[in-house]
Copies of this chain bind each other. A is one copy, B any other.
Amino acid sequence: MKTRRLRLTIAYDGRPFAGWQIQDSVKPTVQGCLEAALQDLCGRRIDVQGSGRTDAGVHALGQVAHVDVPLLGGSLSRAERWAQAINVRLPEGVRVTASRAVAADFHARFWAIGKTYRYRIWNAPWLHPLELGRAWHVPYALDRARLRAAAEILLGRHDFAHFAANRGAGFEPRSTVRTLRRIKVGGRAPLLTLEFEGDGFLYRMVRLLTGALVRVASGRDDLSWLRGTLARELRKNHHQAVADGLYLVRVQHARPDRSTTAASPLTRDEGDPGG
């Protein structure tokens, strides 16, 4: 059957889901919900290939996936209309915010050239009730100047092996070198936001970077600890921020409308769960 490839932009609340990837769990997964919606719409099984996994509890404002869908007539002849057709078949915790036609060899994971994650911290004695499940509650004082100084150390191209969790045998990446292009510290107190932009992220890397930055900003660890950990002279960092505060903001692709074979940075083909 003739098909065409669509690029879907997807937003979800992480709380009702057992993460992105299909698995045996009591809670549904985002990928599973999308595949069920597409099966209902197309009458057959459609694989949904995401740009990477997100862990249970991690939110997304702009996850990206690709799908090969049959050439249907009517309103679905327009790629933009697929978003609505899928949404009416999804639970309310997940929505396709945009759908568009892409080249037949576009790949949500292999063609990704950048990702942005946001981490939200509620830095006050009590977590605001409307921030439950949406931010990490840090009740002790954090120094923004120290935080910025720590973020400076992490910027650039490094081997981030000591800021990655093990996923188990057979899942280890070929390389743990990544480039952090930007860490933006923002948010009006008591909200503190960290935005990480890079070419890719290792397993739980954003949560481990955030955990380390908060260690330094709180004065529990100093900049030399961070430098030593990054240089792998010290032990791996195990201070990990909770999933609640993490948001996959956007995924950048190299010209998704144009076919190319040069766009795939091989270091990222192990998937990129970031959370």
Interface residues of chain A, those whose CB is within 8 Å of chain B, are 11-13, 59, 61, 84, 87, 92-95, 97, 125-130, 132, 134
| Contact A11-B92, Cβ < 8 Å, known A84-B125, A125-B84 | no
For A134, list chain B residues within 8 Å (CB): 130
Instruction: Kindly identify which residue among B13, B125, B127 contacts A132, using a CB–CB cutoff of 8 Å.
Output: B13
The distance in angstroms between the C-alpha atoms of A128 and B62, with both chains bound, is: 11
Interface of A, secondary structure class, is mixed
Bound CA span A97–B59, Å: 27
Contact residue among B12, B125, B132 (Cβ-Cβ distance under 8 Å from A129): B12
| 8 chain-A/chain-B pairs, Cβ below 8 angstroms | A11-B130, A12-B129, A61-B130, A92-B132, A93-B132, A94-B129, A95-B128, A97-B126
Question: Closest residue of chain B to A94, judged by CB?
Answer: B129
Q: Is the CB of B13 within 8 A of A130?
A: yes
When distances are taken between beta carbons in the complex, the residues of chain B under 8 Å from A93 are: 129, 132
In whole angstroms, how far apart are the Cα atoms of A244 and B258 in the complex? 43
Could you tell me the distance in whole angstroms from the C-beta of A160 to the nearest C-beta in chain B?
Answer: 28
In the bound assembly, the distance between CA atoms of A129 and B13 in angstroms comes to 6
Question: Which one of B12, B13, B129 contacts A95 once the chains associate, using CB atoms below 8 Å?
Answer: B129
Q: Which residues of B are found within 8 Å of A95, using beta-carbon distances?
A: 126-129
Q: Which residue of B lies closest to A95 (CB)?
A: B126
Q: Which of A87, A94, A130 has the most CB of B within 10 A?
A: A130
What distance in Å separates the Cβ of A79 from its nearest Cβ neighbour in chain B? 16
Q: What CA separation (Å) do A87 and B92 show in the bound complex? A: 32
**Residue in B closest to A61 when the chains form the complex, CB atoms:** B130
Residues in chain B near residue A11, CB distance under 8 A: 128-130
Q: CA–CA, A97 to B130, complex, Å?
A: 13
In the bound complex, CA of A10 to CA of B13 (Å): 26
The listed residue with most B CB atoms (<10 A of its CB), out of A12, A127, A128, is A128
Q: Which residues of B contact A97 (CB under 8 A)?
A: 126, 128
Smallest distance from the beta carbon of A256 to chain B beta carbons, Å?
22
Contacts of A132 in B (CB 8 A): 13, 92-93
List B contacts of A92 (CB < 8 A). Answer: 127, 129, 132
A220 → chain B, closest Cβ, in Å?
22
Q: Return chain B residues, CB-CB under 8 Å to A59.
A: 130
Taken together as a complex, chains A and B put the C-alpha atoms of A132 and B92 apart, in Å, by 8
| A84 (CB) vs chain B CBs: closest residue | B125
